[in-house]
Amino acid sequence: MASSTFLLRRLPLCAQTGRLSRPSYPAFTALQQGWSRTHIRPSASLYSTHAAADLDQTNKPYYITTPIFYVNAVPHIGHLHSAVLADTFKRFHEMKGRKAILSTGTDEHGLKIQQAAAQAGLKEIELCDKVSKRFQDLFDAANISYTTYIRTTEPRHAVAVKKIWDDLLERGYIYKGHHEGWYSVSDEAFYPSTHVEEKINEKTGEKYHIAIETGKEVEWTTEENYKFKLSAFTDRLTEWLDNNPEAILPKSRHLEVQSWLKSGLSDLSVSRPRSRLTWGIPIPGDDSHVMYVWMDALTNYLTVTGYPWKNMSDSQKAVCGWPADAQVVGKDILRFHAVYWPAFLMAADLAVPKKIVAHAHWTQGKMKMSKSIGNVVDPFTAMQEFGTDTIRFYLMNDGGLIDDADYSSELVAGRYKKLLAGQLGNLLNRSTSVALNPSNKVPKQPSADNVHPDDKVLHKKLEALPGLVDEAMANYRTTHATQAIFDMIAEANANFTHCEPWKLVKDPAGHDRLQTVLWYAMESTRLATLLLQPIMPTKTAEILDQLDIRKDERSWEHARLGQGWVKDAESRKILPGTPMFPQVKAKK
């Protein structure tokens, strides 16, 4: 605390943004003088995530973002994955008692959208309105608790984009140049020749070229445009990643970005001539150019926080959210988020995000889902068939950060049957069985000092579970969290069977033991359900209602062995319910 007060007094910084409130342009001057970047790092510490931690962040909300989605095609299950992942972490931090911001929205400019609108015979904005609404409907249907839904065609976003452009220009990081290269409309990116491969169309015999990284077609393009001095940031990006070895998750992606930096960075085209691209934000002061769509799109993460924070009081700035605590992205857009984006921020003297979480992809038939291949899974249909929480659970249980996962309805049905109905549902039914617990009361909590030998393994698992889940979530590994939870549930079910409570209920001498067996079953259900809340918000609320766990007993501090029904346990009523996970069948 002492150091943060000191920092705040000495430096006129926006408490959360890490931005110098007094303009100073040493970087610009130095570059003009031809200095190397290593000599012009007056506020380099600001770019490290540690600098942000040094500032007074007591009230800073946890800010997590999803990528903003292209509106050239309707959403598929892969898009939903990015959103559920971010929502799960937002809810987890709320459960821990922190205020949280979750932003999502749509990326509406660029050639890709311009071409898609022309193909659909619509004005660009008509296509954007239509598809953006579809994404928003999806996120509403999937219970994504976003706090801001941003569209890059909104006026507030144009203000933010103009400001960042002006700052970069003023600081000498943007210049006008000539550009020749391979451009992919699908990726909205230029590629150097070394990243491009020639192919031959088997049917027509015609030659074409693709980007090796994404497999998308590229075309040779020559044009005059504005360029960003990305090359000047190689050292600082390297330093940022070296000093913050967990800035990018998973580790393999962190190493991948470090290796890109080792091979050096070229300057980046950040505008397209209006003759080629009309659908975008005009370059401030030069209408003949339109902003490069990635520069426009990435800035959305600042727009959401109210950037350029002009009419905000210090206390408002302190809770604006920036820097983001976590930015969720698919592995295909890592370069844009882990190289270009932090470089833009450094150039504007803004703090970089604390973490970038790159997830793997969903495939179908082992191929990445894409409209052109025709193997996309409609998330609306999937949720109708299996229920929203089942799909959320399946995505978080099977879709990881490292390996791609192959989507299959049979597998969704399998997880539902085996884990949700067969394990969690079964344990709930056992916990709420009227035959075993006719009084519907919470059984007496057994002493933790004298655990029955049969319950020892389960007791240990229950004690360890919150820590395991916490660790998994700190590493953004939902698959590890669900694994730990279901491992405990399996033990709870196995122990229940082993203890044969249906025999104990018939034996007056077995009364005390029955109470203990029921208590462990109920406590295991309670704990598992509490920890599953961020992933399955609706089903877990229903289960907790059934167990008569009050709304103010559902937070992280209650996710501990023995922390349920703490007050007036005698007055609670456990409700025998209809099966929480009725039978479903996968449609063929």
**Does residue 332 bind ligand MSP (CB under 6 A)?**
yes
**Does residue 369 bind ligand MSP (CB under 6 A)?**
yes
Contact 547, 431 (CB under 8 A): yes
**Does residue 81 bind ligand MSP (CB under 6 A)?**
yes
Q: Which stretch binds ligand MSP (CB under 6 A): 140-148, 327-335, 413-421, 466-474?
A: 327-335
**Does residue 298 bind ligand MSP (CB under 6 A)?**
yes
**Does residue 280 bind ligand MSP (CB under 6 A)?**
no
Structure tokens at 468: 């395991």
Structure tokens at 476: 């953004």
Helix (H, G, I), strand (E, B) or coil at 236: helix
Contact 248, 228 (CB under 8 A): no
**Does residue 276 bind ligand MSP (CB under 6 A)?**
no
Give the nearest distance from C-beta 335 to ligand MSP in angstroms. 11
- Rounded to whole angstroms, the Cα distance separating 391 from 267 reads 42
CB atoms < 10 A from the CB of 212, how many? 12
Structure tokens at 224: 């005059």
CB atoms < 10 A from the CB of 64, how many? 29
Count of positions on this chain that bind ligand MSP (CB under 6 A): 20
**Does residue 250 bind ligand MSP (CB under 6 A)?**
no
**Does residue 127 bind ligand MSP (CB under 6 A)?**
no
Structure tokens at 41: 């790092």
User: Please, which residue, 395 or 499, has the CB nearer to ligand MSP?
Assistant: 395
**Does residue 345 bind ligand MSP (CB under 6 A)?**
no
**Does residue 82 bind ligand MSP (CB under 6 A)?**
yes
**Does residue 462 bind ligand MSP (CB under 6 A)?**
no
User: Please, which residue, 234 or 364, has the CB nearer to ligand MSP?
Assistant: 364
Residue nearest to ligand MSP (CB): 330
Task: Please list, in sequence order, all residues whose beta carbon lies within 8 angstroms of the beta carbon of residue 281, skipping any fewer than 6 positions away.
Answer: 109, 158, 161, 162, 290, 291, 296
Q: Which of 274, 368, 417, 572 binds ligand MSP (CB under 6 A)?
A: 368
**Does residue 209 bind ligand MSP (CB under 6 A)?**
no
**Does residue 394 bind ligand MSP (CB under 6 A)?**
no
**Does residue 362 bind ligand MSP (CB under 6 A)?**
yes
Contact 421, 501 (CB under 8 A): no
Q: Which of 87, 94, 107, 389 binds ligand MSP (CB under 6 A)?
A: 107
Contact 16, 319 (CB under 8 A): yes
Q: What is the CA radius of gyration of the chain?
A: 27
Q: Which of 63, 70, 173, 340 binds ligand MSP (CB under 6 A)?
A: 70
CB atoms < 10 A from the CB of 201, how many? 9
| DSSP structure string for 160-173 | HHHHHHHHHHHTT-
Using CB under 6 A, list all residues that contact ligand MSP.
67-70, 78-79, 81-82, 107, 297-298, 300, 329-330, 332-333, 361-362, 368-369
